[in-house]
Structure 1
Amino acid sequence: MLVRCICVDDEAYASTLLKAYIEKIPFLAFVGSTTSPVEALGWVSEGRCDLVFLDIQMPELTGLQFLKLAGHKCKVILTTAYPEYALEGYEHDVVDYLLKPIAFDRFLKAAQKAQALLQPTTSAPAPNNAGSVETSGTGAAHPDYMFVKGESKNKFLRINYADILFIEGLKNYVQLHLPQQRVVTYQTLKDLEEQLPQPPFYRVHKSYIIAIDKVRMVDGHTLYIEDKEIPLGETYRDGFFKLIREKEQG
């Protein structure tokens, strides 16, 4: 589904930047921007948007006042130069809190969070599409892909979760191992772990995250995915075998 977005900011350059970011991301649709929180509340009440990028310090209404009036009619990502409002923002169930100046990779991560939250829920069985993944216990469909930074500043690569065999942490970057390709992206393994649906992904070592359904054999403290041997860390061993047992019983 396309996520319809509006930007609410009294600084024109900030709205222009957000609009440019929105238009780079395939699952976002730019609906409009305004400097008036009151006008934006009207758009929300009319059901014209799914996601609001909202500045905190504005005339008429502050961003926090806007959140109280909007209730739960839309999802909100706060955009501000003031970190001291973060806690209060999260108390109003905002999706994320972006500090200006906003880098595109950080914006993308927040957008992916919003997309996951806005996916329609259903009690009916999910269609058997290759690569589709559901988050455990919520019933909400998780996006079946993510974007990662490429080798150049403004390049981002789409990676389908179903293609990932395992992920290897290498200091300040990670290497995603795919069947016919290896993709290097400059972020930490911890940050990437937070983006991935669990299961099917699980961290088995301080330097490795695996796709559980790609494991062909377990031998003691070693996992085998294709021809690669991956260590199973003692810290992660119990959790790994618990997941394996659950899959066998399910």
Structure 2
Amino acid sequence: MIRCIAVDDEAYAGRLLAAYIEKIPFLTLAGLTTNPIEALQWVQEGRADLVFLDIQMPELTGLQFLKICGHRCKVILTTAYPEYALEGYEHDVVDYLLKPVSFDRFLRAVQKAQALLAPATPAPPVASPAAPAPAGGYLFVKGDSKNKFMRVSHADILYAEALGNYLALHTANQRLVTYQTLKELADQLPQPAFLRIHKSYLVAVDKISMIDGNILYIGQQELPIGETYRESLYRLVRE
């Protein structure tokens, strides 16, 4: 069961989140407050696994909250302001929900949180001599300022995750968030060394440790396999 706290200075917005939480079998509401300082104390006491956090609050903004609480729990941002998305993802938030939050969008966000909070199970490596190794090379991804670009070697990439118009590029040592779509990234990478496995995920084929039904493992990280991409993945593995 994932213990949740909803923090929003608008009481009706918090009550909506609380109602959504109560509809999900694997969530439980551990706290509901309009006071971010009270919520921060709850987090520091270890009372929450997942926080639904507003950004614009008078005593303490959501971004200030993130800086103080560090990585004690997972956070889903809820706000009416899309311009904070990039900064939010730089704090490694699970998702970014724009108000008014619909239930189906809420459900997708908490499913991502559930995957991240599930206990990791060691996955044995898959024997796949036919899997192509990434071609030598590199790419540059845009950073968090106008003329900042970061070089990333193809061999270092584990997988990429779509975040709306942004994406998170996961390597062995870091997670880079950049303003780019997953399709644009796929067009830059060599094929078939990198493969789309889901509308939201692209993986380095030689980093796959196991495939189990509709779940693919990169090390201990579980990624879903989308129906549209399943056949091409299985064909590559069989060959």
TM range (shorter): 0.5 to 0.7
Shift of 1:122: 3.4
Aligned partner of 2:228 in structure 1 is 203
Aligned-partner residue type, residue 37 of structure 1: P
The one-letter amino acid paired with 2:224 is P
Residues 3, 28 of structure 2: 8 Å contact kept: yes
Distance 1:74 1:88 in 2: 18
Match of residue 78 from structure 1: 77
Q: How far apart, CA to CA, are the structure 2 residues paired with 1:68 and 1:17?
A: 26
Q: Structure 1's 26 and 112: CA in aligned 2 closer, same or farther, altered over 3 A?
A: same
1:39 is paired with a residue of what secondary structure? helix
Please tell me the residue identity of whatever aligns with 2:21.
Answer: I
* Structure 1: 5+ residue stretches without partners: 126-130, 143-195, 205-209, 213-235, 246-250
1:136 aligns with 2:136: no
Per the alignment, residue 217 of structure 1 pairs with none
Q: Would the aligned equivalents of 1:50 and 1:74 in 2 still touch at CA under 8 Å?
A: yes
Give the conservation status (yes or no) of the 8 Å contact 2:123–2:219.
no
Q: State the 1:82 CA deviation.
A: 0.6
Deviations 1:68-124 (Å, cap 9, x if unpaired)?
A: 001000000000001111111001100000000000000000010000000111337
C-alpha distance in structure 1 between counterparts of 2:29 and 2:216, whole Å: 27
What is the SS of the residue equivalent to 1:29?
Answer: strand
Contact 2:123 2:217 in 1 (8 A): no
Say yes or no: does 1:116 pair with 2:115: yes
Aligned residue for 2:8? 9
Q: Letter of the 2:8 partner, please give it.
A: D
**TM-score with structure 1 length normalisation?**
0.56
* 1:108-166 deviation per Cα after TM superposition (whole angstroms, max 9, x unaligned): 000100000001113377xxxxx9865411314x5xxxxxxxxxxxxxxxxxxxxxxxx
Q: What amino acid is aligned across from residue 16 of structure 1 in structure 2?
A: R
Alpha-carbon distance, 1:65 to partner:
0.3
Q: How does 1:4-43 map to 2 (within 5 A)?
A: 4-43=3-42
TM-score by length of 2: 0.59
Q: Percent identity?
A: 66
Task: Give the 4+ runs in structure 1 shifted more than 2 A.
Answer: 122-125, 131-135, 201-204
Q: CA deviation at 1:202?
A: 5.1
Q: How does 1:99-110 map to 2 (within 5 A)?
A: 99-110=98-109
Question: Is 1:202–1:240's contact at 8 Å kept on the other side of the alignment?
Answer: no
How many residues are matched? Answer: 152
1:44-78 CA-to-partner distances (Å, cap 9, x unmatched) read: 11110100000000011100000000100000000
Unaligned runs of 5+ in 2: 125-211
Residue 242 to residue 133, structure 1, CA distance change in 2 (3 Å): closer
**1:220 counterpart residue number:** none
* C-alpha distance in 1 between matches for 2:219 and 2:77: 25
Q: CA deviation at 1:34?
A: 1.1
Secondary structure, counterpart of 2:19 in structure 1: helix
Structure with higher RCO (Cα < 8 A, 6+ apart): 2
Matched letter for residue 68 of structure 1: K
Secondary structure at the residue paired with 1:49?
A: coil
C-alpha contact 1:67 1:92 (8 A) present in aligned 2: yes
- 1:168-187 equivalence runs, <5 A: none
Task: Provide Cα deviations, 1:154-200, integer angstroms capped at 9, x if missing partner.
Answer: xxxxxxxxxxxxxxxxxxxxxxxxxxxxxxxxxxxxxxxxxx712xx
